[in-house]
Amino acid sequence: MSDKDLMNELDPRNACQLEDVAAYLDGELSGAALLRFEDHLKSCAHCDGDLRKQRQLLCTLESAFSDSRAFDLPDNFTRVVTARAENDLSGVRNRREGRRALQLCAAMALVSFALLGAATRVVVWDPLRTFFRVTRALLDLVWQATSEAISTALVLLRVIGQAVFPAKNGLGVFLTIVFLGSVSFLLLLIAKYHRAEIVE
């Protein structure tokens, strides 16, 4: 190694930086940085070799990707593959094999419950019992709420009916029809208002 090479290696301005090689290849270096790197390439065989290798790699990749040949699949390709797969699998599983698998699963379940022993009560039965207790309580609550709502509606209908229908000369029926018509008209107006609001 000559004194000049030794001086170049010791000079911090000539320190090898791999990102400079990539930046040089990408054309990102300019001005003083470009001149400094090109001077460094003249004196550094390592960076010069890296630059050659990366250029060769880029050329190889470019030629590989530019030569991508597209090939067309037949129109019925998926149908043919599916048919062949079904034909290849037919007869693989038979009833005897299925029964044997079911027997093995049942035997393993029995063995696991036997091994769990007393823990099955805590792990399996207590949560199930709690689940059914909560479900029953919820169903009772729903049943009570429904029956109370129905009885309340019946009482209200009876009170309204007694107040409206005993009127003389059909005035109660007329008032009921007017009331129902006004409620229907009000619902129609509300619906139109909401539609207009959505459109805006």
Averaged over 89-98, what is the pLDDT?
Answer: 64
Per the CB < 8 A criterion, the answer to whether 4 and 39 are in contact is no
Is the per-residue pLDDT at 12 higher than 60? no
Which of 8-12, 49-53, 119-123, 167-171 comes out lowest in average pLDDT?
8-12
Is the per-residue pLDDT at 135 higher than 90? yes
What is the pLDDT at residue 15? 62
Write the pLDDT tens digit of every residue in 97-107: 778 888 988 99
3-state secondary structure of 104: helix
pLDDT band per the 50, 70, 90 thresholds, residue 143? very high
Is the per-residue pLDDT at 2 higher than 60? no
pLDDT band per the 50, 70, 90 thresholds, residue 139? very high
Cα–Cα distance between 13 and 105 in angstroms, integer? 74
Per the CB < 8 A criterion, the answer to whether 50 and 21 are in contact is yes
Is the per-residue pLDDT at 151 higher than 80? yes
Nearest to 179 by CA among 155, 195, 163: 163
Write the pLDDT tens digit of every residue in 57-74: 888 878 777 765 655 677
In the chain, where are the structural domains located?
Answer: 3-66, 126-199
Per the CB < 8 A criterion, the answer to whether 40 and 47 are in contact is yes
Which of 48-52, 137-141, 147-151, 174-178 comes out lowest in average pLDDT?
174-178
